[in-house]
């Protein structure tokens, strides 16, 4: 591992400017079709396979590159790496540095990566004066992966201050080990842990399966195939999970901020709203709020964020997302867990691998081919 410090402050707020409009409808009439604003993607930096990002101290934005480096976005693009674990990971299959996050106090920095043996690993560093303290590094959680795909790997802190970790079903195809519905494994799950509450972590006492001897206490939700990107609505606390489908359906799942956890999103009995290979829908299946098929150009949903920035009032409250193969940037209007409108923003982000939200609620689009872009008015 190599760590470098920054010699100057990095810029903070970067604005996403895109807008959607909604015609006013009476209480007895459906809402009018939503019209997307004219927007353009402005490239603000290039990177080596940018894959994830996080809002950092002092209004900064940190960008992770898949091979194992983390760099900070500045006026002249991305600076020199502030962290380099490229000798500890591999980009074979779907492996690499897959996620980064700061805790809510910006006092600790977390990385999610697969090590050289393919084991999913979440490590923690203390942060002081906006800089990583390499000597404080410790491993919080590991999970063996049976295959090189469906690693998941997204991490972020919820409004409750706990760390959420997304793991795919273990890989191959069709969930051959039935991990999605098996509560005795962390694979195919969204986890919730308290990294500061124990060594190496504590399990929150109100996790849904904490008292079930046949389940892993870390589990918050299950029935997921490859929840590549998830996020919390910074305005409401609601959770949105974009779960990549097998061969036919891509889905976006939702849970309200007051959820007590335990949601079963259906995989591998279900793919979206549809039975998978003759599967029987679980009685507690929570169907997606949005799905789309692969009859068009889409092949792998890339989840984003509910927009809560100040730059675009018309976009407030809408969930921005894309697809790795299609690249079209889209937005959903979600009301109480129901989609009431969908818009095509009219821009294409390339091979969209992730979105990043800065400290002011503005967004970036990451193209795995190298572009870090901001959405601006056309």
Instruction: Find the largest Cα–Cα distance for the chain.
Output: 62
CA angle 218, 236, 186 (to 5 degrees): 15
Over the stretch 223-256, which tens digit does the pLDDT of each residue have? 999 999 999 999 999 999 999 999 999 999 999 9
For residue 4, is pLDDT > 60? no
Mean pLDDT along residues 109-120: 98
For residue 305, is pLDDT > 90? yes
What pairs with residue 41 in β-bridges? 375
DSSP string covering 22-79: -----TTSPPPPPEEPPEEEEEEEE-SSEEEEEE-GGG-EEEEETTTEEEEEETTEE-
Per-residue pLDDT, 43: 96
Distance (Å, rounded) from C-alpha 316 to C-alpha 360? 13
Over the stretch 179-212, which tens digit does the pLDDT of each residue have? 999 999 999 999 999 999 999 999 999 999 999 9
Mean pLDDT along residues 326-342: 95
Q: 28 vs 127, which has greater pLDDT?
A: 127
Per-residue pLDDT, 375: 80
Mean pLDDT along residues 156-177: 98
Per-residue pLDDT, 39: 74
Over the stretch 59-72, which tens digit does the pLDDT of each residue have? 999 999 999 999 99
Over the stretch 176-187, which tens digit does the pLDDT of each residue have? 999 999 999 999
User: What is the average pLDDT score of the chain?
Assistant: 91
Predicted TM-score (pTM) of this structure: 0.91
Kindly tell me the sign of the dihedral angle through the C-alpha atoms of 68, 185, 220, 279. Answer: positive
Per-residue pLDDT, 271: 98
Burial 259-285 (b: 16+ CB within 10 A, else e): bebbbbbbbbbbbbebebeebeeeeeb
Mean pLDDT along residues 7-15: 34
Over the stretch 76-97, which tens digit does the pLDDT of each residue have? 899 999 999 999 999 999 999 9
Residue 373 and residue 365 in contact, taking contact as beta carbons nearer than 8 Å: yes
Mean pLDDT along residues 145-166: 98
DSSP 115: B
Over the stretch 27-70, which tens digit does the pLDDT of each residue have? 334 344 455 667 788 899 999 999 999 999 999 999 999 999 99
Checking DSSP bridges between strand 338-348 and strand 352-357, what pairing results, if any? unpaired
Per-residue pLDDT, 155: 98
């Amino acid at each position: 591992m190599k760590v470098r410090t920054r010699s100057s402050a990095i810029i903070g707020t970067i604005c996403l400017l895109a807008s959607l409009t909604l015609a006013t409808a009476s209480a007895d009439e459906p809402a009018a079709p939503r019209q997307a604003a004219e927007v353009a993607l402005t490239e603000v930096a290039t990177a080596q396979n940018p894959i994830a990002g996080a809002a950092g101290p002092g209004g900064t934005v940190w960008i992770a590159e898949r091979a194992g480096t983390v760099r900070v976005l500045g006026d002249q693009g991305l600076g020199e790496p502030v962290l380099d674990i490229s000798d500890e990971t591999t980009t074979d299959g779907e492996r690499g540095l897959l996620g980064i996050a700061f805790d809510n106090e910006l006092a600790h920095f977390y990385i999610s990566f697969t090590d050289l043996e393919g084991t999913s690993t979440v490590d923690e560093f203390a942060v002081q004066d906006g800089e990583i303290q390499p000597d404080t590094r410790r491993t919080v959680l590991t999970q063996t992966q049976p295959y090189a795909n469906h690693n998941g790997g997204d991490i972020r802190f919820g409004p409750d201050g706990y760390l959420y970790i997304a793991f795919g079903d273990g890989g191959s195809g069709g969930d051959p080990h039935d991990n999605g519905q098996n509560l005795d494994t962390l694979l195919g799950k969204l986890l919730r842990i308290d990294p500061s509450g124990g060594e190496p972590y504590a399990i929150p006492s109100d996790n849904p399966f904490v008292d079930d001897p046949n389940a892993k206490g870390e589990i918050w939700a299950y029935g997921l195939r490859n929840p590549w990107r998830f996020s919390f609505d910074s305005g409401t606390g609601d959770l949105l999970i974009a779960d990549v489908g097998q061969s036919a359906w891509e889905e976006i799942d939702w849970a309200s901020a007051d959820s007590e956890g335990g949601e079963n999103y259906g995989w591998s009995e279900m793919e979206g709203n549809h039975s998978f290979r003759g599967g029987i829908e679980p009685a507690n299946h929570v169907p997606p709020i949005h799905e789309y098929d692969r009859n068009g150009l889409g092949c792998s949903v890339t989840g984003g964020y509910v927009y809560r920035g100040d730059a675009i009032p018309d976009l407030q409250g809408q969930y921005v997302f894309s697809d790795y193969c299609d690249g079209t940037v889209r937005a959903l209007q979600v009301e109480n867990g129901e989609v009431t409108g969908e818009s095509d923003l009219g821009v294409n982000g390339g091979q969209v691998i992730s979105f990043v939200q800065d400290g002011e609620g503005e967004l970036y689009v990451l193209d795995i081919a190298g572009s870090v872009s901001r959405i601006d008015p056309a």
